[in-house]
């Protein structure tokens, strides 16, 4: 007869020596000799020393054979084993089961788990060691970083001081440069003063002489008019005869050269007006050239700037070269016209110095790729290859003492750079030189 024991269970716990520590009988096996303190072997053939808890459940009796399910509580979970045992003389004898093997398997499993755990532990330990070594390493890195950071802050402070000093020096340099530019301008104006004085003095001279002549003419005309009035008076009062008066007046007219005065009078006036115009033009050129009206950066016509520069140094140019102007149509561009005129003047004066007796200076202007291009060519002596790389250096000169300071092209270079432009030179010794200045077109 089959007697189901489902729903009943038995919990036996033992210590690792295999001695039973606790028995909970859940309506099952009341007769089993499972006394606390007895060896576990008393119920099982095999001691399962590593296990601390067995749970016997779902046992079925089939005659004297008990089929049971043994649940073993492991650290890692539950293991369920099946076995069949025979209850004889109140002793449970396991028959026909792989129980023993299973326990071995469990033991192996437990060992494996233990190994795994100890491996995990040791790798964790290693990791901790590494971490702690890392943290030691991190500490030293941190210290080094702090040291470097402090060093960097000090350097930054030093740098800031140096920057401030550099800014101060830069300011001083700028004002020195501005002074140099001013001096160079004054020097070139000084150089040109004689020419300009001549240009102004000449017309002023003949205007003065013409005024002198007009003064004399005026006196003679006055004398003649007075003689005429006196003669008319005496005719009217019957003191003199009309024929005599007319003949006397004709004599006076010849003596005072009234006819010459009349024919010359308007010539003298026209000549003086022309002279005065020349003076006015020269003054205007001077004003345009140096921008004495105080204008600085403004929209300007570069062709007009070149014209006024040529006018202002005309006295220097005219004896040395035929000046050929090939001016293209140019838009106005934002620039400092006074400074650009200084550039053109420095290049043109150099060109006159390079021409031995008489040559040609060609000035071409045009526009390409957003740049106004000004080419100034001369057919003078040219620049030797060993000098050409140095001509823009301040104080580089091949001219004799007193003739050149070596600043002209250096200043021209600075001015062009200030305009975001370019200045280039091509030269062949004995053939001539071409300077090309490029200024970007800026509408405002
Ligand atoms: N058109 C040119 N032909 C030949 N040589 C030139 C020409 N332009 C410049 N140079 C050379 O370049 C040098 C430097 O010119 P830069 O204008 O800077 O100084 P400088 O003319 O000598 O003196 P400064 O212009 O200060 O009076 C000149 O001394 C000259 O040797
Ligand atoms: Mg020069």
- pLDDT single digits (tens) 148-163: 888 888 888 888 888 8
CA distance 348 to 374: 12
Cβ atoms of residues 347 and 320 within 8 Å:
no
CB atoms inside a 10 Å sphere around CB 133: 10
Model confidence band, residue 179 (pLDDT cutoffs 50, 70, 90): confident
Determine if ligand 1 sits within 6 Å of the CB of residue 192: no
CA 10 to each of CA 58, 152, 220: distance values in angstroms, whole numbers, following the listed order: 10, 76, 164
Q: Among 81, 97, 113, identify where a domain stops.
A: 97
Range of weakest confidence among 66-80, 192-206, 259-273: 66-80
Determine if ligand 1 sits within 6 Å of the CB of residue 195: no
- pLDDT single digits (tens) 67-108: 555 555 444 444 555 555 555 554 455 444 434 444 445 555
Go through 186-211 and write b for each residue having 16 or more CB atoms within 10 A of its CB, e for each that does not: eebbeebeebbeebbeebeebbeebe
CA distance 64 to 53: 25
Domain hosting 409: range is 291-444
Higher pLDDT: 290 or 57? It is 290
Q: Among 62, 97, 132, identify where a domain stops.
A: 97
- pLDDT single digits (tens) 287-316: 766 654 555 889 999 999 999 899 888 888
Residue 214 lies in a domain: no
CA distance 255 to 248: 11
Higher pLDDT: 143 or 221? It is 221
Determine if ligand 1 sits within 6 Å of the CB of residue 398: yes
- Coil vs helix vs strand at 96: coil
351 Cα–ligand 2 center, Å: 9
Ligand 1: which of 344, 351, 381, 409 to mutate, judged by most atoms within 8 Å of the beta carbon? 409
Residue 283 lies in a domain: no
- pLDDT single digits (tens) 417-440: 999 999 999 999 999 999 999 999
pLDDT for residue 29: 54
Residue 26 lies in a domain: yes
Output DSSP code: residue 108: H
Residue 375 lies in a domain: yes
198 Cα–ligand 2 center, Å: 22
If you average pLDDT over every residue of the chain, what do you get?
Answer: 78
Of 337, 346, 263, 265, whose CA–CA distance to 301 is shortest?
Answer: 337
- What are the structure tokens assigned to 86, written together? 């025979």
Q: Domain of 400: which CATH number?
A: 3.30.565.10
pLDDT for residue 139: 76
CA distance 344 to 306: 7
Q: Among 68, 97, 126, identify where a domain stops.
A: 97
pLDDT for residue 8: 42
Residue 352 lies in a domain: yes
Share of the chain above pLDDT 70, in %: 66
Residue 381 lies in a domain: yes
Please list, in sequence order, all residues whose beta carbon lies within 8 angstroms of the beta carbon of residue 342, skipping any fewer than 6 positions away. Answer: 181, 184, 185, 188, 411, 412, 415
Length of the chain counted residue by residue: 444
Determine if ligand 1 sits within 6 Å of the CB of residue 383: yes
- Adjacent-strand bridge partners of 11: 24, 55
- Note the helical H segments in 256-397: 258-290, 302-312, 314-320, 337-354, 385-388
Determine if ligand 1 sits within 6 Å of the CB of residue 341: no
CA-351 nearest atom, ligand 1: 1
Residue 253 lies in a domain: no
Please list, in sequence order, all residues whose beta carbon lies within 8 angstroms of the beta carbon of residue 264, skipping any fewer than 6 positions away. Answer: 213, 217
Model confidence band, residue 193 (pLDDT cutoffs 50, 70, 90): low
Of 38, 114, 34, whose CA–CA distance to 74 is shortest?
Answer: 114
Task: Please give the backbone phi and psi of residue 44, each rounded to the nearest 5 degrees, phi first.
Answer: -115, 145
Higher pLDDT: 51 or 125? It is 125
Of 309, 294, 395, 308, whose CA–CA distance to 351 is shortest?
Answer: 309
Across 359-371, average pLDDT: 96
201 Cα–ligand 2 center, Å: 27
The count of domains in the chain is: 2
- The DSSP-derived string for 60-94 is EEETTEEEEEEEEEETTEEEEEEEEEEEETTEEEE
304 Cα–ligand 2 center, Å: 22
State the chain's maximal CA–CA distance in angstroms: 203
Range of weakest confidence among 34-48, 223-237, 334-348: 34-48
Of 285, 362, 297, 294, whose CA–CA distance to 327 is shortest?
Answer: 362
Best-predicted range by mean pLDDT among 4-18, 204-218, 225-239, 367-381?
367-381
- Adjacent-strand bridge partners of 13: 22, 53
CA-based end-to-end distance of the chain = 117
Task: Please give the backbone phi and psi of residue 188, each rounded to the nearest 5 degrees, phi first.
Answer: -70, -35
CA distance 338 to 292: 9
349 Cα–ligand 2 center, Å: 6
Higher pLDDT: 57 or 184? It is 184
CA distance 82 to 75: 20
pLDDT for residue 333: 96
CA distance 317 to 323: 8
CA 354 to each of CA 317, 328, 384, 429, 430: distance values in angstroms, whole numbers, following the listed order: 12, 26, 12, 11, 10
Please compute, for residue 261, the number of CA atoms within 13 A of its CA located in the half-sphere on the CB side.
Answer: 19
Residue 200 lies in a domain: no
- What are the structure tokens assigned to 58, written together? 């779902």
Ligand 1: which of 183, 350, 435 to mutate, judged by most atoms within 8 Å of the beta carbon? 350
- pLDDT single digits (tens) 376-416: 999 999 999 999 999 998 778 999 877 777 888 988 998 99
Cβ atoms of residues 334 and 298 within 8 Å:
yes
pLDDT for residue 132: 67
389 Cα–ligand 1 center, Å: 12
pLDDT for residue 230: 93
Cβ atoms of residues 442 and 333 within 8 Å:
yes
- Adjacent-strand bridge partners of 327: 365
Determine if ligand 1 sits within 6 Å of the CB of residue 434: no
Share of the chain above pLDDT 90, in %: 37
CA-191 nearest atom, ligand 1: 27
């Amino acid at each position: 007869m089959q007697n189901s024991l489902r729903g009943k269970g038995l919990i036996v716990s033992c210590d690792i020596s295999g001695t039973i520590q606790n028995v909970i009988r859940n309506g099952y096996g009341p007769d089993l000799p499972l006394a606390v303190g007895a060896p576990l072997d008393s119920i099982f053939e095999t001691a399962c020393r590593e296990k601390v808890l067995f749970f016997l459940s779902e046992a079925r009796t089939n005659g004297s054979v008990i089929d049971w399910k043994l649940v073993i509580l492991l650290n890692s979970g539950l293991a369920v084993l099946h076995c069949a045992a025979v209850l004889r003389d109140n002793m449970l004898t396991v028959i026909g089961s792989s129980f023993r093997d299973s326990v071995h398997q469990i033991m192996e499993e437990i060992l494996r788990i233990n190994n795994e755990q100890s491996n995990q532990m040791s790798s964790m330990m290693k990791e901790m060691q590494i971490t702690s070594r890392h943290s030691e390493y991190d500490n030293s890195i941190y210290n080094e970083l702090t040291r470097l950071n402090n060093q960097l802050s000090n350097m930054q402070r030093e740098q800031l001081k140096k920057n401030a000093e550099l800014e101060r020096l830069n300011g001083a340099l700028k004002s020195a440069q501005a002074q140099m530019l001013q001096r160079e301008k004054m020097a070139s104006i000084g150089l040109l003063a004689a020419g300009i004085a001549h240009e102004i003095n000449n017309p002023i001279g003949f205007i003065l002489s013409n005024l002198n002549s007009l003064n004399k003419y005026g006196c003679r005309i006055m004398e003649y008019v007075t003689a005429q009035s006196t003669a008319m008076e005496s005719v009217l009062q019957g003191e003199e005869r009309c024929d005599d008066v007319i003949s006397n007046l004709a004599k006076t007219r010849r003596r005072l050269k009234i006819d010459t005065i009349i024919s010359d009078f308007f010539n003298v006036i026209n000549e003086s007006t022309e002279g005065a115009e020349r003076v006015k033009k020269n003054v205007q050129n001077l004003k345009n050239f140096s921008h004495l009206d105080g204008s600085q950066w403004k929209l300007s016509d570069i062709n007009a700037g070149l014209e006024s520069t040529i006018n202002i140094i005309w006295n220097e140019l005219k004896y040395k070269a035929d000046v050929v102007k090939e001016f293209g149509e140019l838009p106005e561009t934002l620039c400092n016209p006074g400074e650009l005129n200084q550039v053109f003047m420095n290049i043109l004066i150099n060109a006159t110095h390079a021409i031995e007796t008489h040559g040609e200076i060609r000035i071409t202007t045009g526009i390409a790729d957003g740049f106004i291009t000004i080419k100034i060519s001369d057919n003078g002596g040219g620049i030797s290859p060993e000098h050409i790389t140095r001509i823009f250096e301040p104080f580089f000169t091949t001219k004799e003492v007193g003739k050149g300071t070596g600043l002209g092209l250096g200043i021209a270079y600075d001015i062009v750079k200030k305009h975001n432009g370019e200045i280039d030179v091509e030269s062949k010794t004995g053939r001539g030189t071409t300077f090309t200045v490029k200024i970007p077109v800026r509408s405002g």
